[in-house]
A = this chain, B = another copy of it.
Amino acid sequence: MTDAASKTMIASVMNEIGHNARRAFAALALAPSHAKNAALQAAARQLRLRRSRILDANRIDMDAARAKALSGAMLDRLLLDGSRIEAMAEGLEAIVALPDPIGKVLADWQRPNGLSIQRVAVPLGVIGIIYESRPNVTADASGLCIKSGNAVILRGGSESFHSSQAIYACMREGLQEAGLPLDAVQMVPMRDREAVGFLLSSMAGMIDVVVPRGGKSLIRRVQEDARVPVIGHLEGVCHVYVHGEADLDMATSIVLNAKMRRTGICGAAETILVDKDIAGAALPLIIDALTRAGCEIRGDDAVVAADPAVVPASEDDWSREYLDAIVSMRVVDDLPAALAHIGKFGSGHTDCIVTNNDAAALEFLGRVDSAIVLHNASTQFADGGEFGMGAEIGIATGRIHARGPVGAEQLTSYKYVVRGAGQTRP
């Protein structure tokens, strides 16, 4: 095909998807909870029933990915097995168990002129989800969208094309069994990058919001090209600040967990700040625990001096999201110095203070301007499931609409319902 013909084809396919989505949204927005839950339950059942078909599809993707010599981390994200398929099905069942966020009366008041005003939760509309080659996002994201009454247009990474298609078929089957419009969940059928460009730049009247889920380069591209609102997170440069009045055992176990439980998630700690007053006692414990766990430590002069295993940090290290078994570590004078460091280098994602001093904790929790601030708990709790939201579509670091874990409740808007008895405005 010529470029022009290909562009015309993409525009025509995408416009049709957009129109279908809007039509499906009109029906799904008013669907009762039991129908939406039935669709999710049926989809979970289909995932289990079609296990071998999904694994076959995944094998095609894995073979192609290996031929392209993708990295081990990427292959691991792409890989499906029986337990990962079961986890997807259980994820959908967890969403069933959540309360329906739609129709909830968020506020309710009466005006002196007798008007009754309610703010009522409604779906966002049509949501575009752009993600990388993690096939499970196909189930998680469309499950959250169905629950919250939103139509969704999925565009997964091209390496996971066959796996995602197989999972997508289960979601559509679920909608079918529940008598809901199939086009509430649609997947972009082309692998072309131009389809993403069209979605971001030319579907402003059809798509209400785009949620990018993936690495920095994907999210930056989406934020640059989008002519529709975006709910996205950029990066998690998360800090653990060990205050002068911290319990050292607690500090060590929180630092170790925050950094090393899983290093590749956005809530993993990337920088440890230790108060000067306790550095002498704290540094050996913390450095020892981290190095035993296989973590490389990049420190300032004081940290380098504390242990020969520590390598010197460069200025860049303070703003690096390693997503790996590497951590930067710095000794700070006091709480204000820690706040200044986090204000300068943090990414507004998740930050923690370890201390037994409640006043210091209160100061930290109030002054650190991040989506999630913790006192005496690991940054790895930055997760919709751990927050009790059942599931999440990502952690938002923007300040608009949703901040922190984005679950079904965050995929809603509201409308005002006003009831009168003939009032006119003076």
Chain A interface residues (CB < 8 Å from chain B): 26, 29-30, 109, 111, 115, 117, 119, 122, 124-125, 204, 208-209, 223-224, 227, 229-231, 247, 250, 253-254, 256-258, 261, 343, 361, 365-367, 369-378, 380-381, 386-388, 398-401, 403-404, 413-425
Contacts and interface: CB of A to CB of B under 8 A. Distances in A.
Nearest to A103: B366
Given A413-B399, A418-B377, A420-B377, A261 B372 contact: no
A261 B377 CA distance: 58
A422 B253 contact: yes
Contacts of A371: 415-416
Going nearest first, the 9 A-B pairs with the smallest beta carbon separation are: A377-B420, A257-B424, A399-B413, A250-B422, A380-B425, A401-B401, A229-B400, A374-B418, A377-B423
Contact of A373 (B386, B398, B403, B415): B415
Copies per complex?
2
A420 B369 CA distance: 19
A375 to B, nearest CB: 5
A208 B397 CA distance: 11
Given A261-B425, A375-B420, A122 B369 contact: yes
A404 B377 contact: no
A256 to B, nearest CB: 8
Given A208-B399, A400-B208, A425-B261, A416 B253 contact: no
Contact of A381 (B223, B247, B418): B418
A399 B124 contact: yes
A416 B373 contact: yes
Given A254-B422, A387-B416, A381 B208 contact: no
A410 to B, nearest CB: 11
A208 B348 CA distance: 13
Contacts of A29: 369
Given A30-B367, A369-B122, A424-B261, A209 B400 contact: yes
A388 B170 CA distance: 47
A207 to B, nearest CB: 11
